[in-house]
């Protein structure tokens, strides 16, 4: 098997994920190239692209297709699901993860670019770099707010976990990457991503309760930085995790209106929903919130700001059941492998928790950059947990007694 091809794909997948800190086009360029190169492996060893959760995944795709076919052509359902193409990373990244001789290349590339994005954020905060052309009030890299926030949300707990596993000389580097990711994440002002990222990071030490005292103290400094940055972040960050129904701001009011529309719409078509692509019309035609949501819908908001509620409105109980079945199957593939492949399983669980947590208040499934962050990390981690340890990775790479770094 062509080892150079495999290593190239490994690096490209890491670039695709990490490059979101600078450009949302990175997943299409680097990730698309990795997919094209991996097709050579598909031709020679198609079994590499198999998944243990293929049946629930196919059920999920069937529910999408059914909801699309049941939708009038005037609703343009196919245009609403063009962002689902990163689902292919589950197969591509999974195949590469199974056979790559250097899995660390993926993580080092991803975390290196994320750390550079965090450094860029710091440079903007101290006026060494120009503000973002669109989001001038936030210290984010020259990319889209969702792309930047999701890569930092992903990098924070992963870098922190690496810090616990690394030897002393590398521990400082991973703590630095985690701190830079934390600063950049909080700078986005995205409440769901910041809350999910910080909560997952706060639970990372529980995975390493047997670590030495010096390591726990050293990495614990990062955890103290979480409330410190939130506390000194000013009024904008003071309410980062608040959601008061009695005193909603304009963004929260709009989100609450979307939730009400989705819930009311589901009740009129409970089994199969109204079909993909119909939510925009459902929102503007709602008797209570229609006029209020007309402007945001006209500017591109075609989803309900909650993936479960959006699924209920457009695909009904059948669609939500397929989504839950697929999600549970993916998560359990990592949970079952936790004892045998603790590190790779941990990162797969991180990917699932980030995607699930942000799905409660948004629809990352239909935003390619956020879906790609999930499928890249989950797919590659899945490949690592099912790899033949002796023939493909080697026990020294997967479970070294001290470093624990893949």
Choose among 375, 398, 402, 401: nearest CA to 388. 398
> Is the pLDDT reported for residue 237 higher than 70?
no
Determine the Cα–Cα distance for residues 138 and 184; give it in Å rounded to an integer.
9
Q: Per the confidence metrics, is the pTM higher than 0.95?
A: no
The arithmetic mean of pLDDT across residues 78-86, rounded, is: 84
> Is the pLDDT reported for residue 100 higher than 70?
yes
Count other C-beta atoms under 10 Å from residue 92's C-beta. Answer: 30
> Is the pLDDT reported for residue 224 higher than 80?
no
Determine the Cα–Cα distance for residues 108 and 104; give it in Å rounded to an integer.
6
The arithmetic mean of pLDDT across residues 51-77, rounded, is: 90
Q: State the Cα angle at 220 between 343 and 171, rounded to 5°.
A: 55
> Is the pLDDT reported for residue 395 higher than 60?
no
Choose among 398, 355, 384: nearest CA to 192. 355
Question: What's the confidence (pLDDT) of residue 225?
Answer: 67
Question: What's the confidence (pLDDT) of residue 13?
Answer: 98
Residue 328 in tokens: 């549970």
Give 297's pLDDT tier (boundaries 50, 70, 90).
confident
Residue 243 in tokens: 């959601």
Question: What's the confidence (pLDDT) of residue 232?
Answer: 56
Q: Is 389 exposed, middle or buried (0-12, 13-18, 19+ CB in 10 A)?
A: middle
The arithmetic mean of pLDDT across residues 289-300, rounded, is: 87
The arithmetic mean of pLDDT across residues 227-256, rounded, is: 56
> Is the pLDDT reported for residue 389 higher than 60?
no
Higher per-residue confidence, 212 vs 15: 15
User: CA of 169: how far to CAs of 73, 97, 107, 406, in Å?
Assistant: 59, 27, 18, 17
Determine the Cα–Cα distance for residues 10 and 14; give it in Å rounded to an integer.
7
The arithmetic mean of pLDDT across residues 321-330, rounded, is: 98
Give 215's pLDDT tier (boundaries 50, 70, 90).
low
Q: Lowest-confidence range among 190-194, 236-240, 282-286, 346-350?
A: 236-240
Determine the Cα–Cα distance for residues 116 and 122; give it in Å rounded to an integer.
10
Higher per-residue confidence, 27 vs 169: 27
Higher per-residue confidence, 352 vs 212: 352
Count other C-beta atoms under 10 Å from residue 288's C-beta. Answer: 11
Residue 304 in tokens: 């309900």
DSSP string, 270-311: TTT-S-TT-HHHHHHT-TTTHHHHHHHHHTT--S-SSHHHHH
**At a CB cut-off of 8 Å and minimum separation 6, what does 344 contact?**
97, 103, 337, 381, 384, 385, 398, 406
316-345 b/e (C-beta count within 10 Å ≥ 16 → b): bebbbebbebbbebbbebbeebbeebebbb
> Is the pLDDT reported for residue 396 higher than 60?
no
């Amino acid at each position: 098997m062509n080892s150079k091809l495999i290593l190239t794909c490994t690096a490209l997948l890491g670039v695709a994920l990490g490059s979101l800190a600078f450009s949302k086009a990175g997943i299409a360029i680097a990730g698309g190239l990795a997919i094209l190169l991996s097709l050579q492996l598909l031709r020679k060893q198609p079994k590499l692209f198999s998944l243990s959760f293929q049946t629930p995944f196919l059920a999920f795709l069937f529910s999408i297709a059914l909801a699309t076919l049941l939708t009038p052509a005037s609703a343009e359902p196919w245009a609403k699901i063009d962002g689902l193409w990163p689902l292919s990373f589950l197969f591509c990244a999974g195949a590469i993860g199974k056979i790559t001789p250097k899995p660390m290349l993926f993580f080092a590339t991803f975390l290196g670019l994320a750390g550079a994005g965090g450094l860029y954020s710091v440079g903007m905060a101290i006026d060494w770099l120009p503000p973002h052309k669109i989001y001038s009030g936030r210290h984010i890299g020259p990319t889209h707010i969702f792309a930047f926030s999701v890569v930092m949300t992903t990098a924070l707990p992963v870098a922190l976990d690496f810090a616990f596993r690394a030897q002393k000389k590398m521990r400082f580097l991973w703590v630095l990457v985690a701190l830079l990711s934390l600063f950049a994440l909080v700078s986005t002002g995205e409440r769901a991503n910041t809350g999910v990222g910080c909560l997952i990071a706060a639970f990372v030490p529980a995975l390493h309760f047997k670590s030495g005292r010096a390591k726990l103290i050293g990495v614990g400094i990062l955890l103290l930085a979480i409330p410190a940055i939130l506390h000194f972040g000013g009024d904008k960050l003071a309410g980062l995790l608040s959601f008061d129904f009695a005193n909603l701001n304009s963004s929260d009011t709009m989100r609450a209106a979307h939730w009400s529309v989705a819930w009311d719409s589901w009740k009129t078509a409970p089994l199969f929903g109204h079909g993909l692509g119909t939510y925009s019309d459902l929102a503007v035609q709602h008797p209570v919130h229609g006029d209020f949501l007309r402007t945001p819908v006209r500017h591109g908001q075609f989803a309900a700001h909650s993936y479960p509620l959006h699924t209920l409105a457009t695909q009904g109980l059948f669609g939500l059941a397929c989504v839950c079945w697929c999600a549970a199957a993916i998560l359990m593939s990592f949970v079952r492998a936790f004892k045998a492949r603790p590190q790779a399983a941990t990162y797969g669980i991180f990917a699932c928790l980030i995607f699930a947590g942000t799905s409660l208040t948004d629809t990352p499934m239909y935003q390619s950059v956020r879906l790609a962050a999930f499928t890249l990390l989950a797919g590659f981690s899945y490949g690592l947990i099912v790899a033949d340890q002796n023939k493909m990775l080697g026990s020294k790479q997967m479970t070294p007694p001290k470093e624990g770094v893949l």
